[in-house]
Structure 1
């Protein structure tokens, strides 16, 4: 029997700070949450907070990275359970959309980044961090479909391009839905996009 390693006092306090900050960021967002708010939520002083983190932005970044890690673990696990390439693509679309919405901070920052980028304010820093991972998952689904005989054979270069185009189309739809406040219509449009893609590459 493997003994569970006990967390140190520092680890417990660090998690307490992150947990409290997570609740505040979900409720008020990054800009309206102060270091004082986070310290108060953790039941500690500002000096204690600065011992573990340089700024509220660093705390927010850690939370986003944790949510992103969880998001991809869930996404890859869900895709791996689907038996066919077509079902894997469907699961990818559904899981990506529904689970991202559940990860409040990550979801909100993605929407905020899109809106700010459209105004020329920021680059899509967080979005760029996960776009390639998404494309890699989609490419692996295409490769699986080739092996199982569901899809026609394509070169590795073509698969990269197909994955890029598929994800770019999804991102384009997302931006359009965000601009026009129609995110509730996203899934039906993504499924239509998937159907078009599969019709073009199936045997």
Structure 2
């Protein structure tokens, strides 16, 4: 078993403390002073590891995102068919997002704030782009797998890119509507229905 270095342990303590504060008070109301106090360290120690609150938020989201995609890739790899792989992606992603409380709540809160203010902040855009690239890559690989196994018709590279984008955008739009109307329990049911509709059009 790998022994964690002192710096790694302290970094994790800072992120864990910040995570608790973000969940309790929100991103905007939590200060660097609050985070340092929660970690039991001075501000100078905190700034040694993170230059700003935004950098801490980035670290929390990226760490949780790495775990999320590891779980998705594992579930997708175990599913036997392309259709099952697509369902595994959707179900695992949603369940992990609900379990990763800070990531899910942060995304939900940012959606609501962006709608209220009619704007999207720089962090949200940067995170979303990186997240979307990863997920689009997984969706594309599932479509390619379906072509190889004969489940789906043959498509060109450009068509695969387009389908990955359309599937991901449709999924995002559906989630957004359900988040706005506070109907999270209906997401999986409707996402599975979306999968059935979209895959029925590309089956061989």
TM (norm. structure 1) is 0.92
CA distance in 2, matches of 1:198, 1:11: 44
How far 1:156 sits from its partner (Å)?
A: 1.1
* Corresponding residue for residue 145 of structure 1: 146
CA distance in 2, matches of 1:184, 1:5: 39
CA distance in 1, matches of 2:113, 2:130: 17
How far 1:154 sits from its partner (Å)?
A: 0.9
Is residue 115 from structure 1 mapped to residue 116 from structure 2 by the alignment? no
How far 1:109 sits from its partner (Å)?
A: 2.1
How far 1:185 sits from its partner (Å)?
A: 0.8
1:30-179 equivalent positions in 2, closer than 5 A = 30-118=27-115, 119-123=117-121, 124-125=124-125, 126-179=127-180
Structure 2 unaligned segments of length 5 or more: list them.
none
CA distance in 2, matches of 1:13, 1:179: 37
How far 1:106 sits from its partner (Å)?
A: 1.5
Instruction: Report the secondary structure of 1:21's partner residue.
Output: helix
Aligned-residue RMSD, C-alpha: 1.5
* Corresponding residue for residue 200 of structure 1: 201
How far 1:11 sits from its partner (Å)?
A: 2.5
Cα displacement string for residues 28-60 of structure 1 (whole angstroms, at most 9, x for unaligned residues):
221122222211211112222122211222111
Q: 1:195 to 1:21 in 2, by over 3 A?
A: same
* Corresponding residue for residue 187 of structure 1: 188
CA distance in 1, matches of 2:51, 2:13: 16
CA distance in 2, matches of 1:92, 1:81: 11
CA distance in 2, matches of 1:143, 1:165: 16
How far 1:82 sits from its partner (Å)?
A: 0.2
> Higher mean Cα deviation, 78-87 or 40-49?
40-49
Q: 1:110 touches 1:127 (CA, 8 Å); kept in 2?
A: no
Runs of 4+ displaced beyond 3 Å: 4-8
How far 1:5 sits from its partner (Å)?
A: 5.2
Instruction: Report the secondary structure of 2:201's partner residue.
Output: helix
**Which one of 6, 11, 35 corresponds to residue 9 of structure 1?**
6
Q: 1:20 touches 1:41 (CA, 8 Å); kept in 2?
A: yes
Cα displacement string for residues 102-161 of structure 1 (whole angstroms, at most 9, x for unaligned residues):
112221222122223323222442222201211111111011011111111111111111
